[in-house]
Amino acid sequence: MKNYKTMVLSNQEISPGYYRMRILAPGFGASARPGQFVMFRVQTSLPPLLRRPFGIFRTGFLPPDCEGQPPKEYLELLYKVVGRGTNIMAGLHHGDRVEVLGPLGRGFDPGNPAEEKILVGGGIGLVPLYMLASHLTKTSSVRLLMGGRTREDILAVTEFERLGVETYVSTDDGSLGEEGLVTEVLKRKLEKFPGASVYACGPMPMIEAVQRICAERKVPLQVSLEALMACGLGACLGCVVKGAGHSEEIPRYLCTCKEGPVFRAEQLDW
Ligand code: FES
């Protein structure tokens, strides 16, 4: 983990309200694992903004420029504009100064390569699944079930397809792919691949539905949870969730930032 005082390389709107930001981050890719996250802060002379957590979409290198400079390593975030902080991010341009702390947290366990892998992403919850897919496709057959409210919530599907991932899209309004919930697609896929492992990230109602479906079928599940985080380092306890076996008499809490954001389903209190 390192604190990068660095700059934005590019920042583009890829769908209404959704942006892709590349940040200069030399050496970042060697330490980042699928499912980890960063704490991001805009360096500004205005009152300092809190750091905010963002899942790592991928890392990579820009092609060398014509002046013979070495390729620049970048960290890529996909994010949705939801409030003041992300609104400020959406206005950043090449060269703007930012601060990135990471990689942080525990990522996905790739599991047994012999198993089919089913990734379930809801909206911007797709973000941590791309690095996971690029890792899993080296050894396993991988399917992505991607759900959103409308077609505008469906992101980066062709990038998963380029990795060799079979993709299935569903939207609540039927504007892209199948009409309906991604969890209905999951039920069908688990009938066909009952020995699969499932990895999910998205809004909590979707995660809870995925957990019920997997628990009924005894399918191993890992979930990446989204939480409000102030420190990202296990210090403020602002991101705790209830762990398995939690009760009023014996409370059990887990820090999403330190012990997660990825958990095996059986670690949590549902
Ligand atoms: Fe502070 Fe997790 S964000 S403990």
Q: How far apart are CA 264 and CA 164, in angstroms?
A: 25
**What are the residues whose beta carbons fall under 8 Å from the beta carbon of 117, sequence distance 6 or more?**
111, 136, 140, 141, 142, 143, 196, 197, 199
DSSP code string of 222-247 = EEE-----SSSSSSS-TTEEEBTT--
Judge if the beta carbon of residue 260 lies within 6 A of ligand 1: no
Ligand 1: centre distance to CA 54 (Å): 14
CA angle 5, 109, 156 (to 5 degrees): 60
Q: Where are the domains of the chain?
A: 2-104, 108-226, 227-270
Chain centroid to CA 226: 9
Task: Find out whether the beta carbon of 229 lies less than 6 Å from any atom of ligand 1.
Answer: yes
C-alpha distance from residue 238 to each of 50, 228, 254 (Å)? 13, 7, 11
- Does ligand 1 have an atom closer than 6 angstroms to the CB of 237? yes
Give, for all 270 residues of the chain, the pLDDT tens digit.
899 999 999 999 999 999 999 999 999 999 999 999 999 998 766 555 678 999 999 999 988 777 777 789 999 999 999 988 899 999 999 999 999 999 999 999 998 888 899 999 999 999 999 999 999 999 999 999 999 999 999 999 999 999 999 999 999 999 999 999 999 999 999 999 999 999 999 999 999 999 999 999 999 999 999 988 989 999 999 999 999 988 888 889 999 999 999 999 999 999
Question: What CATH number does the domain located at 108-226 have?
Answer: 3.40.50.80
From 237, 241, 254, give the residue whose CB has the most ligand 1 atoms within 8 Å, as the site to mutate: 237
How many contiguous H segments (helices) and E segments (strands) does the chain have? 6, 16
Report yes or no: 212 and 206 within 8 Å, Cβ to Cβ.
no
Q: Is the CB of 142 under 6 A from ligand 1?
A: no
At 199 the three-state DSSP class reads: strand
3-state secondary structure string across 65-126: CCCCCCCCEEEEEEEECCCHHHHHHHCCCCCCEEEEEEEECECCCCCCCCCCEEEEEEHHHH
DSSP 268: B
Question: Does 82 sit in the ligand 1 pocket, CB within 6 Å?
Answer: no
Nearest ligand 1 atom to alpha carbon 255:
2
For ligand 1, the distance from its centroid to the CA atom of residue 162, given in whole angstroms, is 35
Centroid of ligand 1 to alpha carbon of 143 (angstroms): 32
Distance CA 50, CA 89 (A): 13
Compute CA distances 121 → 55, 132, 145, 207, 244, whole Å: 13, 12, 6, 9, 24
The verdict on the CB of residue 165 being under 6 Å from ligand 1 is no
- The CATH architecture assigned to 2-104 reads Beta Barrel (2.40)
Contact predicate 185/168, CB 8 Å: yes
Q: Please, are residues 243 and 162 in contact by the beta-carbon 8 Å criterion?
A: no
pLDDT of residue 49: 64
The verdict on the CB of residue 239 being under 6 Å from ligand 1 is: yes
Q: Does domain 227-270 have CATH number 1.10.10.10?
A: no
Q: What is the pLDDT, as a whole number, of residue 46? A: 58
Nearest atom in ligand 1 to 227's CA: 3
Does residue 228's CB lie within 6 angstroms of at least one atom of ligand 1? no
246, two tokens: 């939690």
Mutate to test the pocket of ligand 1, among 233, 241, 254, 259 (most ligand atoms within 8 A of CB): 233
Q: What is the pLDDT of residue 71?
A: 84
Using CA atoms, how far apart are residues 245 and 263, in angstroms rounded to an integer?
A: 15
Give the pLDDT score at 254: 96
155 CA distance to ligand 1 centroid (A)?
28
Q: Are 95 and 39 in contact (CB under 8 A)?
A: no
pLDDT for position 188: 97
Task: State which amino acid sits at residue 173.
Answer: D
d(CA 57, CA 46): 28
Q: Which two tokens stand for residue 117?
A: 């892998």
